[in-house]
């Protein structure tokens, strides 16, 4: 019988395994599907299994590595893990200590983009009714972009052409790389701290997804959403769409387009003013014409053309009446004059004076001169005045003789 070799202690054999394995599997890329993902709340470290049809390896992902990921690992996700295989002696297990993770099939940036899009979209940050209108007559425009580069140049050129009255204020920002997010957020917040800015343009020129990445960051999106001043985003070329574009009140495909929208045209404004005056003049002219026409209509009526016509008409009638009246009067007078003559002659015939000339006399009792018609009215010695045709005489009554019947 062979003597058995001296047994290893668990610690010793584990140590040997550890050295063997850790020595051989440094910096390996392993692809698989994430499962049983847990995040330890205290430490923030991630623990999960990477598996495929045949096997499973445990993985560890320290908190700071996880924070550096652009996407969030989830169960079921197919990834490539890069790291060292380590042996956990106490537990008797081995795991991949991940240095970074890459999503499989999809670029990590693209995955990150999708994840962030979903998350923020669910919060309603990209809702169409959140969007405000762009002011029609912005007089001070804040621009957050690189101080070098085509964006600010294009904006200034177009603004200059369209309307020199509009002022531009540039906040020079880093638009890619380290600190870009913070820089852009500062710019947006700075302009919001002023009360004289009407509109913001936030953007940068074209580039790769990586170059544009700051404009996909959560902090920039939230800064745009929080901005009280309306924001036009102008990031990259027409085909590039970033989350900032979704968050902004208006997306411009290029910086020039942004300037065209932002800056009101002096020329168009002048034209509009002139058009208004033209229309107003026309309205007033036609109103005056209508008024003149109405006046003419009124003045053409007979009452106005021959105003004295009315009077003449009536005067004519009056004259006729007067003439008629005169004529009738004449007739009347003539007729009555005749009657008068006739009456006068009859009267004359009956006149007591005529009677006197025929020999009759009138006796009057003096002194009252009362007419005597009867012998009873006199007495002897009474004074009587007698009127004859050519005069009168006074006598005294001597004798009275009543007439016997």
Partner 1 sequence: MERLEEITHALEGGDLPLEKSIELYTEGLDISKFCDDKLGEAETRVKVITEKQGKLVEEDFEDEEQ
Residues in contact with partner 1 by CB under 8 A are: 137, 147, 152-153, 156-157, 159-160, 164-172, 187, 190, 266, 269-270, 272-274, 276-277, 279-281, 283-284, 287-288, 291
Cβ 400 vs Cβ 379: under 8 Å? yes
Q: How far is the CB of 162 from partner 1 (least distance, A)?
A: 10
Q: How far is the CB of 172 from partner 1 (least distance, A)?
A: 6
| Strand arrangement of the beta sheet that strand 362-365 belongs to | 370-371, 362-365, 383-388, 391-396
Q: Could you say which DSSP state residue 2 is in?
A: P
> Please, which residue, 226 or 279, has the CB nearer to partner 1?
279
Q: How far is the CB of 285 from partner 1 (least distance, A)?
A: 10
> Please, which residue, 280 or 341, has the CB nearer to partner 1?
280
Query: What Å distances lie between residue 15 and 29, 89, 259, CA to CA?
Result: 24, 7, 68
> Please, which residue, 172 or 253, has the CB nearer to partner 1?
172
Q: How far is the CB of 251 from partner 1 (least distance, A)?
A: 24
> Please, which residue, 166 or 372, has the CB nearer to partner 1?
166
Q: Could you say which DSSP state residue 147 is in?
A: S
Q: How far is the CB of 237 from partner 1 (least distance, A)?
A: 22
> Please, which residue, 86 or 186, has the CB nearer to partner 1?
186
DSSP string of 316-382?
HHHHHHHHHHHHHHHHHHHHHHHHHHHHHHHHHHH-HHHHHHTT--EEEETTTTEEP-SGGG--TT-
Listed in sequence order, the residues at least 6 apart from 301 whose beta carbon sits closer than 8 Å to its beta carbon are none
> Please, which residue, 273 or 342, has the CB nearer to partner 1?
273
> Please, which residue, 154 or 181, has the CB nearer to partner 1?
154
> Please, which residue, 167 or 256, has the CB nearer to partner 1?
167
Q: How far is the CB of 27 from partner 1 (least distance, A)?
A: 43
Q: How far is the CB of 146 from partner 1 (least distance, A)?
A: 12
Q: How far is the CB of 305 from partner 1 (least distance, A)?
A: 24
Q: What angle do CA 210, 213, 215 make, to 5 degrees?
A: 155
Cβ 203 vs Cβ 154: under 8 Å? no
Question: 127 burial class (0-12, 13-18, 19+ CB within 10 angstroms)?
Answer: exposed
Beta strand extents in 187-258 (DSSP E only): 199-204, 231-235, 250-251
- Cα–Cα distance for residue pair 174/200, rounded to 1 Å: 16
Cβ 202 vs Cβ 232: under 8 Å? yes
């Amino acid at each position: 019988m062979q003597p058995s070799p001296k047994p290893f202690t668990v610690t010793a054999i584990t140590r040997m395994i550890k050295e063997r394995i850790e020595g051989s599997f440094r910096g390996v890329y392993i692809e698989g599907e994430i499962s049983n993902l847990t995040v330890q709340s205290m430490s923030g470290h991630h623990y999960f299994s990477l598996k495929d049809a045949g096997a499973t390896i445990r993985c560890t992902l320290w908190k700071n590595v996880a924070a550096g990921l652009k996407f969030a690992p989830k169960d079921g996700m197919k990834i490539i893990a890069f790291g060292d295989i380590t042996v956990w002696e106490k537990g008797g297990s081995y795991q991949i200590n991940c240095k970074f993770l890459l999503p499989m099939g999809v670029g990590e940036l693209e995955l990150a983009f999708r994840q962030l899009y979903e998350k923020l979209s669910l919060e309603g940050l990209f809702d169409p009714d959140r969007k405000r209108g762009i002011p029609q007559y912005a007089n001070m425009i804040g621009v957050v972009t690189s101080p070098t580069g085509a964006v600010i140049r294009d904006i200034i050129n177009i603004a200059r052409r369209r309307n020199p009255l509009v002022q531009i204020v540039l906040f020079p920002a880093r638009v890619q790389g380290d600190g870009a997010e913070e820089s852009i957020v500062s710019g947006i917040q700075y302009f919001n701290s002023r009360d004289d800015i009407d509109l913001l343009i936030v953007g940068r020129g074209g580039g790769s997804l990586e170059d544009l990445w700051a404009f996909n960051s959560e902090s920039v999106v939230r800064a745009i959403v929080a901005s009280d001043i309306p924001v036009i985003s102008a990031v990259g070329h027409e085909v590039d769409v970033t989350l900032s574009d979704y968050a902004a009140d208006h997306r411009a495909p290029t910086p020039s387009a942004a300037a065209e929208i932002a800056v009101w045209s002096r020329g168009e404004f002048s034209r509009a003013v002139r058009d208004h005056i033209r229309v107003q003049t026309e309205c007033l002219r036609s109103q005056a014409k209508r008024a003149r026409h109405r006046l003419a209509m009124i003045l053409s009526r007979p009452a106005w053309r021959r105003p004295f016509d009315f009077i003449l008409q009536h005067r004519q009638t009056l004259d006729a009446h007067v003439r008629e009246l005169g004529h009738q009067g004449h007739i009347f007078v003539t007729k009555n004059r005749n009657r008068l003559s006739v009456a006068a002659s009859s009267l004359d015939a009956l006149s007591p004076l005529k009677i006197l000339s025929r020999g009759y006399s009138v006796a009057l009792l003096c002194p009252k001169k009362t007419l005597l018609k009867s012998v009873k009215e006199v007495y002897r010695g009474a004074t009587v005045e007698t009127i004859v045709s050519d005069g009168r005489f006074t006598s005294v009554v001597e004798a009275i003789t009543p007439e016997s019947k």
